[in-house]
Amino acid sequence: MCGIIGYIGKSEAAPILLEGLRRLEYRGYDSAGLATLNGGLSIRKCKGRIANLAELIAREPICGSIGISHTRWATHGGVTDENAHPHFDQSGKLVLVHNGVIENYQTLKEALAAEGHQFKSQTDTEVLAHLIGKHYDGIGGGATRKRLVEAVRKALKEVTGTYGIAVMHEDVPGVLVGARRGSPLVLGIGKGENFLASDVSAIVGHTREAVYLRDYDIVSLDGEDFEISTLNGGASGFEISKVELTEDDVSKGSYPHYMLKEIFEQPDSLANALRGRLSLEESTAKLGGLNMTPTELRNIERIVLTGCGTACHAAMAGEYLLESLAHLPTEVEFASEFRYRNMPMNKDTVVFAISQSGETADTLAALRESQRKGHRTLGICNNVASTIARESDGGVYMHAGPEIGVAATKSFTSQVTILTLLGLLLGRIRHLSTSEGIQIMEELQAIPEKVRSILKQSDYIKTIAEKYSYAKAMMFLGRQFNYPVAMEGALKMKEISYLHAEGHPSAELKHGVIALISPEVPSVFIAPDDSVYDKNISNIEEVKARKGPVIAIGTEGDTKLAKVADDVIYIPRCPDYLSPLLTVIPLQLFAYHLAVKLGCDVDKPRNLAKSVTVE
């Protein structure tokens, strides 16, 4: 979950590294550090945001045309200057940055301490630096690129856990070494300069070519070329990819926050998710990336959807969608629990692993466990070059564009859209008629413009959010298709405003939850004019009877809701099964505006990072 960028070339490294760290700060912002090599190693690091590091370097400049840097999301050891990366080895000549978790670091640390190694931090990363340094000194011979690579290889063979690393050594001044297992690492190829980064967004201003390293790859690079091998020393097959992202894609533009920009990008991201995937001739969806024949699709007897956080909520909406449109038994499993369960699944069960980044550690582990058990396992992700995209048996890309705000917004609606397309596809080969297929397609195509109309209410939603900024906690309640939306609305509120929020099915209110209702605890009801509308109205009445304020999400033209709720936000009319794509938009804006009112940093909420690459 940390951010890494390394540079080697002819330019001064520090400004390039600082620029890259700013673009990676969504991956972690507890502390940051930078090391360059110019005759000797120089390090600057401190706790806090990238701005703190930039101020430190302005006071104490650092130079050199080779360097590595890091922005941290703490796993081992508190948030201190000492625990910030980079970390030295025992000799003080090798320096390392690391994303991941070394699970056996304590055993390794004890063994190294017995040999006389002394540690200055509480991190697992420093142990890895010492281990590589030990092997480098033990190999002997000249100070060569081969020697440094071999030291990294020997050390990583002793390691249990995950890593994306970048390493420099004072005695090998023209070389950077990187390696990955379970944590992403990208090689950026420039002209007379090369890069390492945990995310291509860090280097889009400098290169249009990249190699997305695979697990167990080790790369060494200088300013002109690079070599990639495997942990076992063999050749690694790699592919040079074109970097499609631009600097504009990863900038905020005129928006004050990435989150708001990404909320407003949803009409386009939804259109991109649909583009080329609807067949008028066959009245169905086209998802060729599933790599399944019509017969294989027809033989599916059960679907399991797995993901974490927002992706799990999208899966929950997908469960309702697939059961409604395709009449297929569907279950949702937290990816973090999936591999630890011994869940009975027959041979005709298909598993979908859902992840925006395609690198989520828990979801990747669930994918591998599913494949280990012999099940066809497909991916739904946003990153074409991600590990889930590479390792799955097929899948669907979201085409949502980069999502940098830590709180997921457009990825939720893109994932739900893709699951709707899947429901249409599977429904049409089972029971849905041609006319039903056409109707679903027409309703889907209308969604982006309906979202656009909801976004025009942003200022109105802002006034409602500010009205309830006194709240101590909030309840989010919905039924059927909108129960997952209630969960997602509560998650957004928790993530960026730090307000205690709970999401529940509306009917569960009277089974204990109603004890929390008070004038200080507003309830947000997702109550469109659907098949359970009257039931939601009854639940709202129950809250009002106990003096609980109510904000409701209703359907345009509904006059009844305004008589029972304190405030109403209206969405355009749509079929029940598509309502999550609309009802979630006001909740995203509501959480955003309330968090801004409270003075919270919505793009970098405390304790969170965007891409969770550690378990």
Residues tagged active-site: 2, 610
What would you measure as the largest C-alpha separation in the chain, in angstroms? 83
Residue 456, C-beta contacts closer than 8 angstroms, at least 6 positions apart: none
Query: CB within 8 A of 509, min separation 6: which ones?
Result: 477, 539, 542, 543
| 8 Å CB contact between 527 and 552 | yes
- Alpha-helical (H) ranges within 513-569 are 533-544, 561-564
Count CA atoms within 13 Å of residue 484 on its CB side: 25
| 513 vs 502: CA distance, rounded Å | 9
Can you read off the two tokens belonging to residue 442? 């027409």
Helix axes 434-455, 579-597, angle to 10 degrees: 20
Instruction: Describe the chain by its helix, strand, coil percentages, rounded to 5.
Output: 40, 25, 35
Report the C-alpha gap between 585 and 451 in whole angstroms: 7
CA-based radius of gyration for the chain? 26
Give the span between the Cα atoms of 553 and 523, in whole angstroms: 11
Edge-to-edge strands, sheet with 376-381: 330-334, 302-307, 349-355, 376-381, 395-397
Distance separating alpha carbons of residues 250 and 228, to the nearest angstrom: 28
Closest by Cα among 27, 177, 9, 21 to 99:
27
* Distance separating alpha carbons of residues 121 and 83, to the nearest angstrom: 5
End-to-end CA distance of the chain: 10
User: Hey, how many other C-beta atoms are within 10 angstroms of the C-beta on 214?
Assistant: 18
What one-letter code names the amino acid at 537?
I
Helix (H, G, I), strand (E, B) or coil at 152: helix
CB-based contacts of 419, cutoff 8 Å, min separation 6: 305, 314, 315, 317, 318, 321, 322, 380
Q: How far apart are CA 422 and CA 426, in angstroms?
A: 6
